[in-house]
Amino acid sequence: MNRKVSVVGLGYVGLPVAVAFGARHQVIGFDVKKSRISELKEGRDSTLEVSPEELAKADILFTSDPSDLQQADFHIVAVPTPITDSLQPDLTPLLRASETIGRQLKKGDIVVFESTVYPGATEEDCVPVLERESGLVAGKDFTVGYSPERINPGDKEHTFTKITKVVSGQDQRTLDIVAEVYSSVVTAGVHKAPSIKAAEAAKVIENTQRDLNIALMNELAVIFKRMDIDTLDVLEAAGTKWNFLPFRPGLVGGHCIGVDPYYLTYKAQRVGYHPDVILAGRRINDSMGRYIVGEVVKQLLLKGVSVVNAKVAVLGLTFKENCPDLRNSRVIDIIRELKTYNCEVLVHDPLANAEEAREEYGVELCEWTDLNELDAVVLATAHRQYKELPIDEYRGKMKEGGMLFDVKGVIDRDAAAEAGVDLWRL
């Protein structure tokens, strides 16, 4: 490979990409957050995606100076693409990154976007910004490609180099170069998509498919609860069939599954189609926090416990287990809904950053020792620390008759019964 790589955006996606390339070539690692650049220079990664040893071995120039991007001729964009409060795509970080790169762009450069977008965004939204800021012409002076990120935060098995990389390019020459560059580090190989739009669409449907499957499990959980059937018992039985898909009910958050479908539905509506199935799945998954709290309230009332001022601990705030990522965590739905009943809500998470929790959600994290005399415990995120706790530890935190609500289905039902812990499972 004879290309010099820059990675713009050094978060959960960008840093593993930069480290993978940095293990073989010098890389320019750019991020607008100076605090992020400082911690990476010190050999620390607060996302826990990359170890200090991996950071030390990678040849990366960490910088927040845009002019350093001029040293590279192959720019990988890995910035967040969130949604707004009205559930619309928010391309602001992507367009700002395009502006930054555009001002440093040179003839012959290639810009590859990894951020999740709707089909058409790379060519219709980003390319005009690159042209405007650079004064260059796409397809003539520089070219673009799209290679959807497949980073799974907290997953140490399916890492960047071990996942097949989908690549695409504006023309055949660009496609071949993009494939060659990624092939130099991705041992799992690359798949050449025939167009940028096809690669963009592949990304959004990967997570839309997962979203819909989880929505089905969530709807089944609600149905089976009314029939007094344990959903996990049903799934274990059904799972003995060779082609049954092993999805589980739960909260659907994070930067992918809970977001990507809205990029697809936005574009679908723009071209005149109302995506009934996808939006129905989103409504079900977005309603689960409210449903879980409804069950908490119902069970407390059945026990004769006053919901007002009931002391409830929510365990876990990050969007998934064993990961400090707080982005789009739907645990906040449980917390906010409990507060509408005037419950006293205590939130604990051993992995979440306390300052980030405060800034992002207005939530003050408490210490484990603060959790005592609880009316209810809601196990919302199945961190290893919670899964490994003896059931007696949970019992010791609760009042006599207190109840444990296991959203993730990780508490052993027989052990809970033996310990005298009243258990509810989604």
Enzyme catalytic residues: 256
Q: How many Cβ atoms sit within 10 Å of the Cβ of residue 59?
A: 13
How far apart, in whole angstroms, are the C-alpha atoms of residue 150 and residue 152? Answer: 6
Q: Phi/psi zone of residue 389: left (φ > 0), alpha (ψ -120 to 50 degrees), beta?
A: beta
Q: Where are the alpha helices (DSSP H) in 43-156?
A: 52-57, 92-102, 121, 127-134
Looking only at the bridges linking them, the beta strands covering 422-425 and 398-406 are parallel
Quote the radius of gyration of the chain (alpha carbons, Å): 23
How far apart, in whole angstroms, are the C-alpha atoms of residue 394 and residue 374? Answer: 10
How far apart, in whole angstroms, are the C-alpha atoms of residue 35 and residue 321? Answer: 25
Q: Please report the DSSP string for 353-416 in residue order.
A: -HHHHHHHH-PPB--GGG--SEEEEEE-S--HHHHTS-HHHHHHHEEEEEEEEESSS-S-HHHH
The DSSP call for residue 124 is: I
How far apart, in whole angstroms, are the C-alpha atoms of residue 166 and residue 218? Answer: 31
C-beta separation of 91 from 125 below 8 A: yes
How far apart, in whole angstroms, are the C-alpha atoms of residue 302 and residue 97? Answer: 54
Q: Any idea which residue has 């819909």 for tokens?
A: 212
Looking only at the bridges linking them, the beta strands covering 27-30 and 165-169 are unpaired
Q: Which DSSP helix (H) or strand (E) runs through 270?
A: helix 260-270
The DSSP call for residue 123 is: I
C-beta separation of 342 from 309 below 8 A: yes
Looking only at the bridges linking them, the beta strands covering 74-77 and 110-113 are parallel
